[in-house]
């Protein structure tokens, strides 16, 4: 028996699908977690901190100048109150050491950390002002607490001993004074000008309390030609 073509069994082929570009599937969108209260608060804070960045350039400049000026004023006032001040000489009671209109550098810090000393030139609140306004005097300490002060025959004596005063140019022309004892925490002050009635000092208003002494005059600042340490 002859066999002819078609004896093998063939299965019909399925039609091939047409090839084309593959489409990428998008990942499903994830829901964003709502911000918690602390995160919202910090975000609001950050937005508030950046508020000044919205200022115009001239406003920023004005802000910086204003802040610098306030800081400078605070520093100067602090230094003036606690460390130093400037004082102008009025009158002739301290000649020949000081002359009218000279500017003095007054050291306040020295008496905040220490005590006045013999021979110091000091700025004192006038204990017997001649007017209603608050006046200040510049004088020299010649007597310490506990000292006995006396003036006789034109010369100053402290505790019975003659005081050599190189800062004066004449004997004391006023009348004799004392002896008097300087109370505790008080200082006997006089002007360097020893001419008659040239200085109003402890001979008229007695020794001054420590609290009345504002500071020590350390330098003559002006005029510049008279610059000198005291």
Vertex 145: Cα angle to 141 and 147 (nearest 5)? 85
Please state, in angstroms and rounded to a whole number, the distance separating the CA atoms of residues 158 and 147: 7
Cα distance between residue 218 and residue 105, in whole Å:
6
The answer to whether 219 touches 107, Cβ cutoff 8 Å, is no
Say which of 33, 87, 93, 197 is annotated catalytic. Answer: 93
**190: alpha, beta or left? (left if phi > 0; alpha if psi -120 to 50):** beta
Is 26 part of the annotated catalytic residue set? Answer: no
- Backbone torsion region of residue 146, taken as left when φ is above 0, otherwise alpha when ψ lies between -120 and 50, otherwise beta: left
Check the CA dihedral 99-175-156-190 and report its sign: negative
- Which of the residues 108, 139, 199, 202 is marked catalytic? 139
Annotated catalytic, 93? yes
Query: Which residues does the annotation mark as catalytic?
Result: 93, 139
């Amino acid at each position: 028996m002859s066999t002819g073509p078609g004896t093998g069994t063939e299965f019909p082929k399925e039609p091939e699908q047409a090839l084309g570009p593959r489409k990428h599937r998008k990942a499903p969108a994830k829901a964003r977690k709502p911000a918690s209260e602390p995160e919202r608060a910090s975000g609001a804070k950050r937005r508030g901190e950046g508020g000044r960045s919205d200022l115009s350039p001239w406003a920023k400049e004005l802000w910086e100048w204003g802040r610098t000026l306030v800081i400078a004023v605070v520093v100067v006032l602090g230094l003036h109150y606690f460390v130093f001040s400037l004082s102008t000489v009025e009158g002739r009671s301290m000649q020949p050491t000081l002359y009218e209109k000279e500017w003095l550098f007054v050291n306040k810090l020295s008496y905040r950390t220490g005590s006045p000393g013999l021979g110091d030139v000091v700025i004192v609140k006038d204990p017997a002002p001649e007017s209603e306004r608050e006046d200040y005097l510049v004088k020299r300490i010649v007597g310490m607490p506990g000292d006995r002060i006396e003036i006789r025959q034109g010369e100053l004596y402290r505790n019975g001993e003659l005081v050599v005063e190189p800062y004066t140019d004449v004997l004391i022309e006023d009348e004799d004074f004392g002896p008097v004892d300087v109370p505790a925490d008080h200082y006997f002050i006089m002007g360097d000008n020893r001419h008659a009635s040239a200085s109003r000092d402890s001979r008229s208003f007695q020794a001054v309390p420590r609290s009345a002494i504002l500071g020590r005059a350390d330098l003559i600042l002006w005029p510049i030609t008279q610059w000198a340490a005291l």
